[in-house]
Amino acid sequence: MDLNEYLIPPTEATRRRGPHDRIVMTSRIRLARNLKAVPFPGWGKKPDRIKAAEIIRPAVESLPEMKGCFAESLDNLAALDKQLLVERHLISREHAAKGAGSALVLNRDETLCFMINEEDHIRMQALLPGLQLKEVWGTISKVDSRLEKKVDYAFTTEWGYLTACPTNLGTGIRVSAMLHLPGLVLAEQINQIIQSVNKLGLAVRGLYGEGTEALGNVFQVSNQMTLGETEEAIVERLNKVLSQIIEHEENARAKLLEKKPKMLLNQIGRAFGALSNAHIISSKETMNLLSCLKLGVDVGLFPGVDRTLVDELFLITQPAHLQHNSTEKLGADERDLRRADLLRERLASVSRPLAELPGSPEAGGEAG
């Protein structure tokens, strides 16, 4: 099956909605699992990894949740396809780099994804738009129980689920949310928030996870500890912290609207001006400017403009998506030209932002 025919078109994918999705882009939970009978991927030889995949893949594909899924060995995917999957946050950068034995199983609506032979034999993840950690937990937990009846997990009563890295030992869970926090960044409160969140034992990372930059004012918040707490307690704790971050972000936006409206109008206006007039633009600059544009849509400066336009641009201006839509092989310089062409074209019909902020910060955006 061709991955590109399988993947949901960006326009459609970005149209999905969830609670608080002006701030919480996605909620995600991944579980790390390993087979008892096969050496873990990093330790095992190639035949071990192939054996693990042969056990896991049919078991996953037979799950009712995975009906009509896309399943493929990473060996059979082009580098570009793998990069597309990374840009859509469906597989990790690390997984994209794996070879023999590594595979991917993705369900029809892209809310469930299994990485086979990443760092662990199984990395399964569920994701939903907006703040829906409990729903995501309900899904992944059910899937995990079903799979556990089909394959023999490495598990001890003393340590829980065994994982390649001790930081995942026990529950093997990572609960995370991807947050758009331009208000806290512009109000220069973001470092304070990150420090507080860190003190609560949670990690704050950039757009593509561990060790990546917070491009486009997008931050991932996730649990660090996987041992000594139940999954429900971890989900609950993260949920509480996320609710607080949402409140802080909303307060920061409200305060900026009240105290520094001109600064806000200036940032948003200039972002729109650059995006709709550049002829050369990098991926990094694009993401940072689109973040401002999205904030502008959220605060009602672009009446009639749907936020999905910005979300879609966020996705399709990334390197693999740009390459995917081109017939020739593009170098980095050519991508910077195509990206600018695409942005100008898509923003051609968008009128300049309002010169004044609407009376209420809620105007123009939908309820969170």
Binding stretches for a copy of itself (CB under 8 A): 262-263, 265-266, 269-270, 272-280, 337, 340-341, 344, 348, 352-353, 355
User: What's phi and psi for 226, nearest 5 deg?
Assistant: -125, 0
3-state secondary structure of 72: strand
Least spacing, CB of residue 358 vs a copy of itself, in Å: 15
Nearer to a copy of itself, 191 or 266 (CB): 266
The Cα diameter of the chain in Å comes to: 65
Least spacing, CB of residue 280 vs a copy of itself, in Å: 4
Least spacing, CB of residue 217 vs a copy of itself, in Å: 19
Least spacing, CB of residue 333 vs a copy of itself, in Å: 9
Least spacing, CB of residue 270 vs a copy of itself, in Å: 6
Structure tokens at 96: 């994209």
Nearer to a copy of itself, 205 or 339 (CB): 339
| Cα distances (Å, whole numbers) of residue 145 to 17, 31, 148, 153, 257 | 28, 12, 5, 11, 48
Nearer to a copy of itself, 9 or 273 (CB): 273
Report the C-alpha gap between 309 and 275 in whole angstroms. Answer: 13
Q: Could you tell me the end-to-end alpha-carbon distance of the chain, in angstroms, rounded to an integer?
A: 38
3-state secondary structure of 188: coil
Nearer to a copy of itself, 57 or 253 (CB): 253
Nearer to a copy of itself, 47 or 273 (CB): 273
Question: Which residues neighbour 268 within 8 Å (Cβ) at sequence distance 6 or greater?
Answer: 292, 293, 295, 296, 299, 301, 353
Least spacing, CB of residue 279 vs a copy of itself, in Å: 4
CB 181 within 8 A of CB 247: no
Nearer to a copy of itself, 240 or 279 (CB): 279
3-state secondary structure of 311: helix
Q: What strand order describes the sheet that includes 24-33? A: 70-73, 103-106, 112-116, 122-129, 24-33, 173-180, 218-223, 202-205
Least spacing, CB of residue 260 vs a copy of itself, in Å: 10
Least spacing, CB of residue 310 vs a copy of itself, in Å: 16
Nearer to a copy of itself, 74 or 265 (CB): 265
CB 177 within 8 A of CB 26: yes
CB 243 within 8 A of CB 236: no
Neighbours of 340 (CB within 10 A): 21
Least spacing, CB of residue 23 vs a copy of itself, in Å: 24
Nearer to a copy of itself, 147 or 354 (CB): 354
Nearer to a copy of itself, 181 or 357 (CB): 357
Give 20's DSSP letter.
Answer: T
Sign of CA dihedral 301, 27, 109, 100: positive
